[in-house]
């Protein structure tokens, strides 16, 4: 290029100097490494910063608990393991990186294309001498050529294409974030479902103990001649019913553990322990209004932000399709030098500079139909955004109600369990003192079993309602930074 600038006319020197300044500007700084505009790892979120810049790969962190099978894992550690191992986020991460590469490809149009062409030609031909006779000869030509081409002006067609690709990249980034939130929610649901089955298992064990106490009391009274064989038979039926329920609950524990292991991306046959659900659960929900929560969801729901990016991408595509009717100004430069037989060569580098203007006159209605297609795609994206917004409002409304109802349900379940426990103790004591029948004891025992089951279910529903409201509002990861500390 140094040789070329030495032989260029002054006008061309100025033109290519301006071109160099343009290339050094920031408008295409991501063409070389667009991957910095995508999430840096499958387990990290993408976060836009001020000026529409994106988080850099320096925020990448590895989140693996130092001990897996030797400690009780809490929910945060389970989520970290899931984000490290789940294939869902790996897929969306790869899609975001592919979109980043596609965006980089559109930015390449702002650079000049430089090609090298080296050729060697050996030719056998004839020429007519002065006497009119044909004589054969051999000719050799060797030489390199460097060709440079660049689009000077296209009325924003390149810009529209790059904007569409950039917004498509943002769409892929937001959807990756949404997938992370979905993984978090699924892990939370599997975690609390597993804890529910553990609590239910403890409740079934307590029910079996109560059934054993009732059976022992019936046997004791029967041995003293104070109760009939029917009392013993009924107590035995309740005892074996409790044992069968305990066996079924053990199966529920195993199934829920397998699901939790699957959700964190681990084989179900690898044992691990989790932190148990607290015995006492406080339920003092203080929620904002549904309208305020909907406003939060519109700012933080990653799938809703993705639909907005998709609309912007479709708008840019439509604009580019409309601008395809406008002319395009391009330039090209060819520089080279040839060598011939007998050590002969050109005295100077040859060069050719070309400016051209192209504009479609008739293309078989291709551009018109491209505009129609882009417009239809834009309307479809706008309809999808409307549908997504309605779905978000529905999710927030339902989740808001679920939190309030779950809190009331848990409080009632606690009182029910306390009342049923007292009822059973009184009925058992009265039976032992011959002031009531075995039927009352069995009824009280059934009520206590039902109360314990409802209390375990209420605890699960309370925590799941909190997870649902967090997911519905996009608050599982809503900070202006990655979701990891």
Q: What is the pTM of this model?
A: 0.76
Between 129 and 482, the higher pLDDT residue: 129
Contacts of 319 (CB under 8 A, 6+ apart): 156, 160
Rounded to a whole number of angstroms, the CA Rg of the chain reads 38
Distance, CA of 225 to CA of 361 (rounded, Å): 111
Q: CA nearest 404: which of 471, 469, 472, 474? A: 469
Query: Please, are residues 74 and 120 in contact by the beta-carbon 8 Å criterion?
Result: no
Taking residues 87-111, what's their average pLDDT? 91
Q: CA nearest 293: which of 393, 182, 385? A: 393
Query: Please, are residues 419 and 448 in contact by the beta-carbon 8 Å criterion?
Result: no
Distance, CA of 263 to CA of 456 (rounded, Å): 22
Percentage, residues of the chain above pLDDT 90: 52
Could you count the other beta carbons within 10 Å of the beta carbon of residue 43? 27
Could you count the other beta carbons within 10 Å of the beta carbon of residue 41? 20
Distance, CA of 75 to CA of 185 (rounded, Å): 11
DSSP state of 48: B
- Tens-digit pLDDT profile for residues 383-439: 999 999 999 999 999 999 999 999 999 999 999 999 999 999 999 989 888 788 888
Could you count the other beta carbons within 10 Å of the beta carbon of residue 317? 24
Cα 33 to Cα 54, 109, 111, 329, 437: the distances in Å are 13, 15, 14, 28, 82
Which tokens sit at 300? 């933080």
CATH number of the structural domain 154-325+360-477: 1.20.1600.10
Could you count the other beta carbons within 10 Å of the beta carbon of residue 484? 16
Q: CA nearest 210: which of 450, 451, 442, 455? A: 442
Distance, CA of 283 to CA of 462 (rounded, Å): 8
> Is the pLDDT confidence value at 190 over 80?
yes
* Domain parsing of the chain, residue ranges: 154-325+360-477
Q: Which residue reads 């100004």 in tokens?
A: 329
> Is the pLDDT confidence value at 4 over 50?
no
pLDDT-derived band at 303 (thresholds 50, 70, 90) equals very high
pLDDT-derived band at 28 (thresholds 50, 70, 90) equals low
Distance, CA of 398 to CA of 294 (rounded, Å): 11
Which tokens sit at 180? 């992370």
**CB contact burial 225-257 (16+ within 10 A = b; e otherwise):** eebeeebbebbeebbebbeebbeebeebeeebb
Contacts of 246 (CB under 8 A, 6+ apart): 201, 204, 205, 207, 208
Distance, CA of 251 to CA of 259 (rounded, Å): 12
pLDDT-derived band at 223 (thresholds 50, 70, 90) equals confident
Question: Mean pLDDT in the chain?
Answer: 83
Taking residues 296-314, what's their average pLDDT? 93
Could you count the other beta carbons within 10 Å of the beta carbon of residue 365? 9
Burial degree of 352 (CB within 10 A; 0-12, 13-18, 19+): exposed
Distance, CA of 302 to CA of 291 (rounded, Å): 18
DSSP string, 365-402: THHHHHHHHHHHHHHHHHHHHHHHHHHHHHHHHHHHHH
Helix, strand, or coil (residue 358): strand
Distance, CA of 51 to CA of 208 (rounded, Å): 64
Helix, strand, or coil (residue 285): coil
DSSP string, 217-269: HHHHHHHTTSS-HHHHHHHHHHHHHHHHHHHHHHHHHHHHHHHHHHHTT--TT
> Is the pLDDT confidence value at 134 over 60?
yes
Distance, CA of 233 to CA of 441 (rounded, Å): 13
Helix, strand, or coil (residue 295): helix
Beta bridge partners of 122: 140
Amino acid 36: pLDDT: 66
pLDDT-derived band at 342 (thresholds 50, 70, 90) equals confident
Handedness of CA 164, 170, 172, 178 (dihedral sign): negative
> Is the pLDDT confidence value at 172 over 80?
yes
Between 481 and 428, the higher pLDDT residue: 428
Q: CA nearest 163: which of 4, 28, 8, 358? A: 28
DSSP string, 326-353: S-EEEEEEEEE--EEGGG-B-SS-EEEE
Amino acid 31: pLDDT: 64
Give the lowest-confidence range in 63-72, 114-123, 256-265.
63-72
């Amino acid at each position: 290029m140094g040789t070329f600038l030495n032989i260029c006319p002054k006008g061309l020197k100025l033109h290519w100097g301006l071109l160099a300044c343009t290339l050094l500007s920031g408008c295409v700084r991501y063409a070389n490494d667009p991957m910095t505009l995508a999430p840096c790892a499958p387990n990290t979120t993408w976060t836009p910063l001020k000026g529409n810049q994106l988080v850099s790969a320096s925020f990448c962190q590895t989140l693996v608990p130092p001990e897996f099978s030797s400690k009780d894992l809490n929910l945060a550690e389970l989520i970290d393991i899931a984000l490290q191992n789940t294939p869902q986020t790996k897929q969306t991460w790869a899609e975001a990186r592919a979109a980043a590469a596609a965006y980089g490809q559109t930015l390449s149009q702002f650079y000049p294309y430089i090609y090298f062409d080296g050729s060697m030609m050996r030719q056998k031909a004839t020429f007519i001498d002065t006497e009119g006779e044909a004589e054969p000869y051999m000719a050799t030509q060797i030489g390199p050529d460097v060709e440079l081409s660049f689009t000077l002006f296209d009325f924003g067609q390149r810009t529209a294409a790059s904007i569409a690709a950039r917004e498509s990249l943002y769409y892929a980034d937001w959807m990756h974030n949404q997938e992370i939130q979905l993984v978090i929610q699924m892990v939370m649901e599997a975690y609390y479902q597993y804890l529910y089955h553990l609590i239910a298992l403890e409740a079934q064990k307590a029910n079996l103990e109560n059934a054993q106490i009732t059976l022992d009391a019936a046997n004791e009274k029967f041995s003293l001649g104070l109760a009939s064989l029917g009392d013993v038979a009924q107590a035995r039926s309740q005892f074996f019913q409790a044992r069968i329920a305990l066996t079924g609950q053990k199966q529920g524990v195993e199934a829920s553990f397998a699901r939790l292991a699957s959700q964190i991306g681990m084989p179900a046959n690898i044992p691990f322990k989790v932190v148990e659900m607290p015995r006492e659960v406080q339920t003092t929900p203080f929620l904002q209004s549904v309208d305020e929560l909907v406003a939060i969801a519109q700012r933080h729901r990653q799938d809703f932000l993705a639909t907005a990016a998709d609309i912007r991408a479709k708008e840019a595509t439509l604009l580019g399709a409309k601008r395809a009717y406008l002319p395009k100004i391009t330039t090209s430069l060819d520089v080279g030098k040839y060598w011939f037989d007998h050590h002969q060569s050109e005295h100077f580098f040859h060069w050719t500079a070309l400016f051209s203007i192209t504009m479609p006159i008739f293309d078989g209605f291709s551009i018109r139909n491209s505009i129609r297609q882009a417009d239809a795609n834009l309307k479809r994206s706008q309809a999808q955004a409307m549908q997504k917004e309605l779905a978000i409002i529905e999710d927030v409304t339902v989740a808001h109600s679920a939190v309030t109802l779950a809190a009331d349900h848990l409080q009632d379940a606690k009182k029910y369990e306390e009342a049923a426990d007292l009822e059973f103790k009184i009925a058992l004591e009265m039976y032992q003192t011959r002031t009531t029948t075995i039927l009352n004891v069995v009824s009280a025992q059934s009520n206590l079993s039902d109360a314990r089951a409802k209390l375990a279910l209420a605890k699960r529903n309370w925590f799941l309602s909190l997870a649902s409201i967090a997911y519905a509002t996009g608050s599982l990861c809503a900070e202006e930074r990655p979701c990891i500390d």
